[in-house]
Amino acid sequence: MKKKSSKLSKLERNRFSLFTDDLDTCIICKKQKNDINEIFRGRNRQNSMIYGLCIPLCRKCHTRITDNYELESEWKIKGQLKFQEYYNKTTEDFIEIFKRNYL
């Protein structure tokens, strides 16, 4: 298994969310969180951490979102809208960073 870089470890430790200040409670069902999920995965995982596009989830809600394309798409749309609003950016700015438009 590949070792995490110190940069990635630091990003993971310092994750924050534009959606909530409470990273200890699942944003959906309000139970104790098990994971902090990056809304944009894969090549955009680090961008999600950098820009606060992370949400705390319990294991059940995490599985439900990642296994359901429609729910995952809803969160990606919410993430793009929140990014554009919070950082005062355009859709073109979002595409430049995340390489895709989800709206």
Q: 8: which 2 tokens? A: 């990635």
At 92, which amino acid appears?
E
Condensed to tens digits (0 to 9), the pLDDT of residues 3-53 reads 667 777 888 888 899 999 999 999 999 999 898 999 999 999 999 999 999
Rounded to two decimals, the pTM is 0.87
Q: pLDDT value at position 1?
A: 55
What's the mean pLDDT when you consider all of the chain?
Answer: 91
* 31-40: Cβ within 8 A, 24+ apart: 31/58, 32/58, 33/57, 33/58, 34/58, 34/59, 34/62, 35/59, 35/62, 37/62, 37/65, 37/66, 39/75, 39/76, 39/78, 39/79, 40/76, 40/79, 40/98
- Enumerate the domain spans of the chain: 13-98
Of the candidates 7, 27, 6, 9, the residue with the CA atom closest to the CA atom of residue 18: 27
- Residue 82, pLDDT score: 97
The predicted pLDDT at position 71 comes to 94
